[in-house]
């Protein structure tokens, strides 16, 4: 369960308190071209203000309250700009995973705005933020403007042409819906040297079974809960994890949590994740 409103400085602070090493947030462009943290196309759900992000200027969005709808304790929590979020992450020692979430028709513009903000406001001595998106146009724009920044393609299910996309976008990772991942897919990605991160996993048993199966990063609303679950895997999942082999170096996988080291011989590559999930639920101790 979330303990702070999404896409806010309060949320970034909470992630740091819970021991996350990375923090994920969404970025859209205002009408006047300022990148701000926002998930939805419309501002209403999180702020109560009925308007599209693309139709509102930054000063209007900046004046909105992004916290009171979550809880009264967060009243007057503003919608932060990407600059503010980057500066806060740098101060807290967190590395951002920035989801480029463009409004329709602004895919390339948003991708470029994000990379320009990183160039201007992220410390060059620090590990660069990981850029992720469902939009290939946004990722292509980011690659063109800042080819050195790592990129991850978001997808609900493994794309059939994932290898072509990985080459075209020069991906660092695939970010997949954790409930749809299979170990066959993980094995294929491992063989290609492409780490897989799973989103959005808030159940500790689910997270543990994914890590045991070879997922190398967990995106979650509950960093402390997931971290505790992964600190000591149950015997059944420990055995499964030890049967998984991965020789990809850590620097190729910017995990959002400090995950256990994965080593050992390869498991059967056709065992579906759903079976692993049932196994995890039955054997959890």
Tens digits of pLDDT across the chain (285 residues)? 678 999 999 999 999 999 899 999 999 999 999 999 999 999 999 999 999 999 999 999 999 999 999 999 999 999 999 999 999 999 999 999 999 999 999 999 999 999 999 999 999 999 999 999 999 999 999 999 999 999 999 999 999 999 999 999 999 999 999 999 998 999 999 999 999 999 999 999 899 889 888 898 999 999 999 988 888 776 666 655 555 433 433 333 333 333 332 222 222 333 333 444 444 444 433
Distance CA 85, CA 66 (A): 14
Element spanning 83, H or E: helix 82-92
Among residues 149, 180, 199, which one ends one of the domains?
Answer: 149
198/81 same-domain check: no
Distinct helix (H) and strand (E) counts, the chain: 12, 8
Q: What is the pLDDT of residue 236?
A: 61
15/97 same-domain check: yes
232/164 same-domain check: yes
* Three-state SS sequence of 84-138: HHHHHHHHHCCEEEEEECCCCCCHHHHHHHHHHHHHHHCCCCCCCCEEEECCHHH
78/162 same-domain check: no
Distance CA 231, CA 247 (A): 21
Q: What is the pLDDT of residue 142?
A: 98
Q: Where are the beta strands (DSSP E) in 134-224?
A: 151-155, 173-177, 196-199, 217-218
Rg (CA), the chain: 19
How does strand 22-29 pair with strand 35-37? antiparallel
Among residues 134, 149, 164, which one ends one of the domains?
Answer: 149
Query: In the structure encoding, which two tokens stand for residue 264, read together?
Result: 């050992």
How does strand 22-29 pair with strand 217-218? unpaired
Q: What is the pLDDT of residue 237?
A: 64
Q: What is the pLDDT of residue 267?
A: 29
CATH code of 35's domain = 3.20.20.190
Measured CA distances, 91 to 21, 34, 66, 67, 87 (Å): 13, 22, 22, 22, 6
48/80 same-domain check: yes
137/12 same-domain check: yes
137/164 same-domain check: no
Number of domains in the chain: 2
Return phi, psi of residue 138, to 5°.
Answer: -65, -40
67/193 same-domain check: no
Distance CA 90, CA 204 (A): 28
Q: What is the pLDDT of residue 214?
A: 87
224/124 same-domain check: no
Nearest to 20 by CA among 263, 254, 262: 254
Domain extent for 239: 156-285
Return phi, psi of residue 210, to 5°.
Answer: -65, -45
Return the number of other C-beta atoms located less than 10 Å from residue 195's C-beta.
25
For tokens 């040297």, what's the residue? 193
Q: What is the DSSP letter of 53?
A: G
């Amino acid at each position: 369960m979330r303990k702070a409103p999404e896409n806010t400085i309060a949320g970034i602070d909470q992630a740091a308190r819970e021991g996350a090493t990375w923090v994920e947030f969404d970025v859209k462009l205002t009408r006047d071209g300022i990148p701000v943290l926002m998930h939805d196309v419309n501002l209403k759900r999180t702020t109560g203000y009925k308007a599209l992000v693309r139709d509102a200027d930054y000063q209007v969005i900046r004046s909105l309250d992004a916290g009171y709808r979550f809880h009264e304790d967060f009243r007057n929590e503003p919608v932060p700009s990407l600059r503010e979020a980057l500066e806060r992450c740098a101060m807290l020692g967190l590395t951002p995973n920035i989801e480029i979430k463009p409004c329709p028709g602004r895919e390339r513009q948003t991708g470029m705005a994000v990379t320009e903000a990183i160039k201007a406001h992220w410390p060059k001595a620090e590990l660069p933020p990981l850029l992720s998106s469902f939009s290939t146009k946004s990722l292509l724009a980011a690659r063109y403007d800042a080819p050195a920044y790592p990129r991850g393609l978001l997808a609900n299910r493994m794309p059939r042409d994932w290898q072509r996309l990985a080459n075209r976008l020069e991906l660092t990772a695939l970010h997949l819906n954790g409930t749809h991942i299979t170990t066959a897919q993980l094995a294929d990605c491992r063989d290609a040297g492409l780490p897989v991160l799973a989103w959005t996993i808030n159940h500790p048993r689910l997270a543990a079974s994914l890590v045991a199966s070879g997922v190398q990063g967990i995106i979650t609303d509950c960093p402390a809960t997931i971290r505790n679950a992964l600190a000591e895997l149950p015997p059944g999942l420990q055995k499964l994890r030890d049967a998984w082999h991965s020789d990809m170096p850590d620097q190729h996988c910017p995990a959002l949590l400090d995950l256990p080291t994965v080593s050992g011989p390869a498991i059967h590559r056709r065992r579906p994740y759903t079976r692993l999930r049932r196994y995890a639920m039955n054997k959890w101790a």
